[in-house]
Amino acid sequence: MASSQHVLLSPAELSYLHSSLSLTPPIRPDGRSPTQYRPLSAETGILPGTNGSARICFADGTEAIVGVKAEVEKTKRRWDDDAIYSENQPTEGEGQQQPGRDGDNGEESGSSEWVELTVEIPGYRDDDSGTIFLGQMLSEALLADGGFVRKLRINRRFHWRLYLDILLISPPLSYPLPLLSLTTHLALLATRLPKLKSEGDEDPFFDDDWAAAPYLYPRDPSNKQKVVERPPVTLLVMAVGGNIIFDPSKEELAVADVALAVSIGDDASTAQQIQGGDKMDVDSFSHGSGSGRNLKLLSIRTVDPPSRLTPPGVANAANSAYGHAQVVSSAGAGGNSQKMPEARQTESEAVEGVWKPPRGGAKAIVMGALVQKVLIRGGVADEVLDALEGVDTS
Amino acid sequence: MPLDTSTYGLALLRVDGRRWNELRRIYAQIRTQAAADGSSYLEMGHTKVMCVVTGPSEPGPRRGAGISSAGGAGGGGGGAGGQSKDAEVVVNIVIAGFSSVDRKRRGRSDKRTLEMQSTLANTLAATLHTHLFPHSQITISLHVLSQDGSLLAALINAATLACVDAGIPMTDYVTACTAGSTSTYAANDEGADPLLDLNHQEEQELPGLTVATLGESDRVVALVCESRVQISRLEGMLAVGVDGCKQVREILDQVIKAQGQKMILEGTVDKGTGLNDMDLD
């Protein structure tokens, strides 16, 4: 679905919504604070036939299900693989311990083709541009740093191929990006792959005990519930006037000046260093204890807000129903020349209380502020990740 | 993997341990989703489907998303919905890629899916009182989360539940069930037993049919048979299938009554005058 699906609001309603969202603090139609997410209920492991699955219901009734299925696939070998193989053989041990160091040599790194992500939205074709855009945004976040596909590597000859099927169950009442992203996050956390029994570059052979199957995102050995690294989440943020609003509903998105999909990852390794390594670190000290999440930006996409397609309102001064008719009619032959500048003026000038769709691109300073607000420590992203941590994924 | 049917003759038990006339476990829920007009969730064994009904509502500007059936008067099919005297029933089936054992993605133009959509649309258009909602559209979207045989039957049952939840007037419950026969078409086995409610393994190997009936009556509203069946066995299979539909109806009826009682107790709906004799404990 396109974000620009039609919202049936009149220019007067749009103007009212815009001005109430531009207040400080903004007043949202559903009474949330600007950084508040819609309440949600979530569960994982609902489909025993999949490697991992999750379901999330937002309080407004939208619901999504994500299922993850994995297959073993033979890795396509490059013509010069043998050369790389012989060159790297002495340093292979080192490479195994520190993946990412030499991520570009084609052996340690995976390929983004190993992950296939499909989005299904009822009533929309699967080749609808909006659906493809949604799928693209979600897979982009996942593949951004190459760390995810590296997990899918079995050995030099084989890898896992992961299929993520994202289903929106309810009719799309709001732009479903946050919902789909959070559901995918949980499904990936719950994903387990069979335990490998074979060694080295043999044909893979797996343990048939599902209870022994390790998680795709490994758990902390000391605390089974704690996940060391977490999949990315994509947050939808928008700016109206001087305000930044998270998780906008369909109506709110209809008056957005800018809408942005920001994907973030939780860089757990560095967070532990800060917390455990040097306690005197200024950064972690100043933000108190606990909220030591080190967020990293994975990708940004601008979402075309539907506000650009809304019809503009007409100011009383330009409205023939409010006495302006005389000007137009008495102008006679010269009417056109008199009418045109008038019309142009109402197009360009903002009149208080009259809806005018946003024109032109977003200002760089606004974009910067939006991203900053997402990445701020102890902010919304932290809250969302904390909330998702509370979901039982075992 | 061929199904080993040779053991059936020894203990009269099927591969999953059922007898010939036993249904799999059916679990159903209605009103699973707050945002929809009507919704349901249904499990028949390991076949799991979800249904969301939207409408009756004004037909949207887009069409052609699903198979539609303009009931009777429309005649012109998809295009007639807006002007026709009857509501148009649009069915949209999404079979999730992860639903079968091996992941297989089925596009929207998959022939089997399209056929199931049109069967469902025609069946429901005949049962729902579509003449009460002229110039409108009832959209039924079904999601298959897991499949293990009797898919069409599960879809019909889930759609019935969701329509009841949506409060669309209908003649009676439409309940469906599958029936099969213990030996293959080629085996000229005189003593072949009919079987009730086939699972995926049996469906692959044995002849089978899906039958849907109206309420407690023996009136068949849909009958789909996609395999070769010897004519002498058809009668037995149909009889068993119709009997199974009655059992399914009982179960669905229980689910709806339980939900109704819950809603009255919670005060979501007022207790009607005709409900005084209902046992609310």
- Amino acid A159 reads H
Contacts of A125 in chain B (CB under 8 A): 65, 108
Q: Are A73 and A82 in contact (CB under 8 A)?
A: no
The sign of the torsion formed by the CA atoms of B102, B108, B114, B118 equals positive
CA angle B248, B56, B156 (to 5 degrees): 20
The sign of the torsion formed by the CA atoms of B183, B185, B189, B194 equals positive
Contacts of A71 in chain B (CB under 8 A): 103
Interface probe for B, chosen from A46, A167, A174 (most Cβ of B below 10 Å), is A167
Residues 53-72, chain A: which have Cβ within 8 Å of B?
Answer: 53, 57, 60-63, 65, 67-69, 71
For B96, nearest residue in chain A (alpha carbons)? A165
Contacts of A173 in chain B (CB under 8 A): 35
User: Quick one: pLDDT at residue A68?
Assistant: 95
Domain A11-82+106-313+355-389 bears CATH identifier 3.40.30.10: no
Q: With an 8 Å Cβ cutoff, are B98 and A124 in contact?
A: no
Domains and CATH numbers, chain B: 13-267 (3.30.230.70)
Return the DSSP state at A111.
Answer: -
Is it true that the peptide bond before A25 is cis, omega within 30 degrees of 0? yes
What residue spans define the domains of chain A?
Answer: 11-82+106-313+355-389
User: Quick one: pLDDT at residue A90?
Assistant: 44
pLDDT by residue, tens only, chain B of 281 residues: 455 666 677 778 888 889 888 999 999 999 988 888 999 999 999 999 999 998 888 886 544 444 454 433 333 334 344 567 889 999 999 999 899 888 887 776 789 999 999 999 999 999 999 999 998 999 999 999 999 999 999 999 999 999 999 999 999 999 999 999 887 766 666 677 899 999 998 898 888 999 999 999 999 999 999 988 888 889 999 999 999 999 999 999 999 999 999 988 888 777 665 555 555 54
Closest CA to A187 of A72, A43, A75: A43
Q: What DSSP string runs through B114-130?
A: HHHHHHHHHHHHHHB-G
Interface residue ranges in chain B relative to chain A, Cβ cutoff 8 Å: 33-36, 46, 48, 50, 52, 54, 62, 65-66, 92, 94, 96-101, 103, 105, 107-108, 139, 141, 143, 145-146
Q: How far apart (Å, rounded) are the C-alpha atoms in residues B71 and B206?
A: 34
Tokens of B196: 């009730």
B133-152 pLDDT tens trace: 998 999 999 999 999 999 99
Complex ipTM tops 0.90:
no
Three-class secondary structure of residue B139 per DSSP: strand
Q: Are B61 and A198 in contact (CB under 8 A)?
A: no
Q: How far apart (Å, rounded) are the C-alpha atoms in residues B199 and B16?
A: 9
For A172, nearest residue in chain B (alpha carbons)? B35
B52-107 pLDDT tens trace: 998 888 886 544 444 454 433 333 334 344 567 889 999 999 999 899 888 887 77
Q: Is A173 on the interface with B (CB under 8 A)?
A: yes
Ramachandran sector of residue B28 (left: φ over 0; alpha: ψ -120 to 50; beta: rest) = beta
| Percent composition of chain A: helix, strand, coil (DSSP 3-state, to 5) | 35, 20, 45
Per the listing, tokens 């059916």 go with: B26
Question: What does pLDDT average to in each consecutive run of 10 residues of chain A (394 residues)?
Answer: 63 90 90 89 90 91 92 79 50 42 52 89 80 90 86 88 92 87 94 90 88 88 77 92 89 89 78 44 41 80 83 77 56 47 55 80 86 86 86 79
User: Quick one: pLDDT at residue B240?
Assistant: 94
CA distances from B170 to B73, B131, B165 (A): 18, 11, 12
User: Quick one: pLDDT at residue A310?
Assistant: 80
Contacts of B146 in chain A (CB under 8 A): 47, 49
